[in-house]
């Protein structure tokens, strides 16, 4: 499972023509999680004029929902969703709370305000890519293990939890798409004389610039 999402939960605020726009972002995995978060923000900001929302759920962004929460139709939730889509984010919910400052923004102004609230919040919080890695387990002699560090350095890899008994058992994790090439490479490196097999998979978070 590989996808892009926000680095962490967080919020950002801006003032546009005396109205306060507060954007809360959260990582979620189900539609229920997203709706619970929206309700939480609505309770916290029950005095606000609007709590508009948008969320995307699923590795392939299968579930998308928006709410204008009283703003003119299409001026809040849809532009908020558009920002999340343009940034290719999923498993994320955005809630923009508006405290009206007395100056009407018009449809175009609202669209820009809600979109920029989400965009600015994502920029402040940061984005990551969730990548799946494949584990590779090795059983090596001590002589083989001594040269294994050279292989790790040359391939910018790190070992995990080596166990030293009669032999050395250790594990590395590689990007899923590189698994076949690394297995072939390790077999050649040890001239077919090491025990090498795939193990469990793990997910890692890679920061996006």
Per-residue pLDDT of the chain (209 residues; tens, 9 = 90+): 789 999 999 999 999 999 999 999 999 999 999 999 999 999 999 999 999 999 999 989 999 999 999 999 999 999 999 999 999 999 999 999 999 999 999 999 999 999 999 999 999 999 999 999 999 999 999 999 999 999 999 999 999 999 999 999 999 999 989 999 999 999 999 999 999 999 999 999 999 97
Which of these, 175, 182, 179, lies nearest to 152 by C-alpha position? 182
Exposed e or buried b for every residue in 4-23, given b needs 16+ CB within 10 A? bbbeeeeebeeebeebbbbb
33-89 residue pLDDT tens: 999 999 999 999 999 999 999 999 998 999 999 999 999 999 999 999 999 999 999
Q: What is the pLDDT of residue 84?
A: 98
What's 122's DSSP letter?
H
Are 204 and 131 spatial neighbours (Cβ–Cβ below 8 Å)? Answer: yes
Which of these, 66, 190, 175, lies nearest to 138 by C-alpha position? 190
Sign of CA dihedral 67, 69, 74, 78: negative
The interaxial angle of helices 106-125 and 77-86, nearest 10 deg, is 40
- Do you know the residue count of the chain? 209
Phi, psi of 47 (to 5 degrees): -90, -5
Q: What is the pLDDT of residue 1?
A: 73
Within 10 Å of residue 141's Cβ, how many Cβ atoms? 14
Are 44 and 146 spatial neighbours (Cβ–Cβ below 8 Å)? Answer: no
Beta strands in 48-126 (DSSP E): 50-57, 63-67, 92-99
Beta strands in 58-194 (DSSP E): 63-67, 92-99, 127-140, 159-164, 168-175
The whole-angstrom separation of Cα 123 and Cα 11 is 11
Which of these, 123, 114, 61, lies nearest to 92 by C-alpha position? 61
Domains and CATH numbers, the chain: 3-125 (3.30.230.30), 131-208 (3.30.70.240)
């Amino acid at each position: 499972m590989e996808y892009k999402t926000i680095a962490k939960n967080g919020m950002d605020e801006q003032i546009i023509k005396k109205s306060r726009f507060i954007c809360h972002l959260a990582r979620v995995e189900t539609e229920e999680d997203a709706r619970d978060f929206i309700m939480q923000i609505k309770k916290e900001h029950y005095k606000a004029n609007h709590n508009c929302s948008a969320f995307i759920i699923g590795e392939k962004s299968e579930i998308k929902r928006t709410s204008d929460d009283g703003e003119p139709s299409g001026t809040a939730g849809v532009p908020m969703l558009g920002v999340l889509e343009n940034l290719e984010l999923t498993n994320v919910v955005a809630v923009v709370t508006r405290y009206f400052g007395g100056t009407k923004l018009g449809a175009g102004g609202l669209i820009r305000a809600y979109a920029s609230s989400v965009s600015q919040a994502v920029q402040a919080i940061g984005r990551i890519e969730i990548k799946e890695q494949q584990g590779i387990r090795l059983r090596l002699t001590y002589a083989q293990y001594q040269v294994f560090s050279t292989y790790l350095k040359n391939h910018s890899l790190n070992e995990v939890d080596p166990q030293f008994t009669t032999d050395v058992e250790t594990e590395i994790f590689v990007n899923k798409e590189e698994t076949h090439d690394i297995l072939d490479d390790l077999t050649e490196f040890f001239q077919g004389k090491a025990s090498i097999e795939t193990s469990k998979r793990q997910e890692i978070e890679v920061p996006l610039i």
